[in-house]
Structure 1
Amino acid sequence: MTSRNWVKLFINTLIIGGLTTVVTGFFVRWDEFEPLFADADFLEVLSVFIWLVGVGFIFSLLSQMGFFAYLTVHRFGLGIFKSVRLWNSVQAVVVAFVLFDLIYLRYISFAKEGEGAVSYVIPALIVLAVGLAVAWQKMRQTNKEAFIPALFFMVVGTVIEWFPVLRVNEGSWLYLMLIPLLVCNGYQLLVLHKLNEKSLEERKKLEGKKPRQAQKQLKPSK
């Protein structure tokens, strides 16, 4: 990927993270922010908006670090297992374990006596559903081998990035962080191959210009 397209990916993901966090923040914490709108305290609303954008930028940076870390891990995995099918099988098993642990470990750690498991299952289902949707779209845009790696990143990568809030288990923060992470992760997955293709085209054009420039320099002056 060219530096220009990498910067484009970075800035777009940053903006998406900020805007998604603003929308999610006002939705999941509406009980806290509703009085500000009722009192028409626009200065306070603006400060909350700026704060949410800043938090969204942080979530976006976590997403981008996780994404580029996964690209490295994916290359190592292919190199170690020497087979796309075998590496995809390993990733599928890890996805299953992570989803199970996301429900089971959170339940045994935070569930109160008599509390059901529904509130612990729902976040895992959201992660899985979004992961499947993004992986399916990625497969349609590229090839069938891309499904499991995309699902792996959307599930395992998101859960790892989400871990600081999972440890606290505060309801509004869980979703305030989860939704922007899923959106940013999905965006990066779905746009990566397009930016790579664009970068390849730009390189070909640049390489085509160099021989023409060399030929012009070699032409004898009249």
Structure 2
Amino acid sequence: MTLKKLFYWFWSTLALGGVTALVLAFVLEILVGQKMFGDITQQLLLSLTLAAVAELGFFAYLVFNFLAKGLIRNKLGYDVTMLVLTVIILGNLVYLNAVKFSGESFWLHLLIPFIILLTALIVAKLKEKSTNVSAYIPTLFFMVAATILEAIPSINSKAGEIPLLIIFHSVVVLLVCNAWQILQLHRWIKPPAKISQTK
């Protein structure tokens, strides 16, 4: 990845996350009919923070993926490991909601794992079409694992229960940023084409 592409990755993800968060906050506040995300300054800080968290998560995934492929040389073993980890992390999120919430609130909070899984399946399929079939499972793992781990401060806040719409807002912004990063990765790391000069 060239320095130019590195800067593009950083600023494009930051801008996409910021715009997505601001637009989504505006729409949700109109639907609910009350201020939930503070003034424009607070919304901007929140949006940029979420985008920055997504970037850190993406970088951590790249390091993890590099180390995992070094330890697990067999492609089948690697894919099985990624699938098992995906199921465990998604299962833990469902369990966390089952323990923390009950009744109607529990079923509403199950929308979050469902949205994450559905988005991950769609993005993984798009990645497969853009590159090759071997990219499906790593993309699925990244979209599920990275998004859930990045969203943990919102989902399991020690400050008390956070309104579902705020959790939804955070998760959607993280999903958008993560989808953008993983779908563009093969373009960013693609070596520049050599220009052949003919005399």
Q: What is the TM-score normalised by the length of structure 1?
A: 0.80
CA RMSD of superposed structures (Å): 1.9
Equivalence for 1:195 = 188
CA deviation after TM superposition for structure 1 residue 4, in Å: 0.4
Matched residue, 2:141? 152
The correspondence of residues 36-51 of structure 1 with structure 2, limited to 5 A, is 48-51=39-42
Partner SS state of residue 102, structure 1: helix
Aligned partner of 2:101 among 89, 110, 115? 110
* Structure 2 equivalent of residue 79 of structure 1: 70
Q: CA deviation at 1:149?
A: 0.5
Shift of 1:116: 6.0
Alpha-carbon shift at residue 121 of structure 1 (Å) = 1.8
> Which consecutive unaligned segments of at least 5 residues does structure 1 have?
35-46, 210-222
Q: When you count helix as a share of all residues, which structure comes out higher?
A: 1
Shift of 1:27: 2.4
Q: Distance in 2 between matches of 1:129 and 1:115?
A: 22
Query: 1:29 is paired with a residue of what secondary structure?
Result: helix
- Return the index of the structure with the highest Cα Rg: 1
2:29 corresponding residue in structure 1:
29
Partner of 1:136: 125
- Return the letter of the residue paired with 1:3: L
Give yes or no for the alignment of 1:2 onto 2:2. Answer: yes
Between stretches 165-174 and 144-153, larger displacement belongs to 165-174
Letter in 2 for 1:13: T
Distance in structure 1 (CA, Å) of the matches to 2:114 and 2:87? 12
CA distance in 2, matches of 1:27, 1:98: 30
Determine the structure 1 residue equivalent to 2:20: 20
Aligned pairs for 1:113-124 within 5 A: 114-115=103-104, 117-124=106-113
Task: Provide the C-alpha distance between the structure 1 equivalents of 2:165 and 2:109, rounded to a whole number of angstroms.
Answer: 14
**Distance in 2 separating the partners of 1:190 and 1:116:** 34
Greater CA deviation, 48-57 or 74-83? 48-57
Structure 2: how far apart are the matches of 1:192 and 1:18? 20
Contact kept, 8 Å, 1:28 with 1:175, in 2: the verdict is no
SS at match of 2:192: helix
Query: Matched residues in 1 for 2:189 and 2:104: separation?
Result: 48
1:186 corresponds, among 149, 167, 179, to 179
> Structure 2 unaligned runs (5+)?
none
CA contact 2:125–2:136 (8 Å) conserved in 1: yes
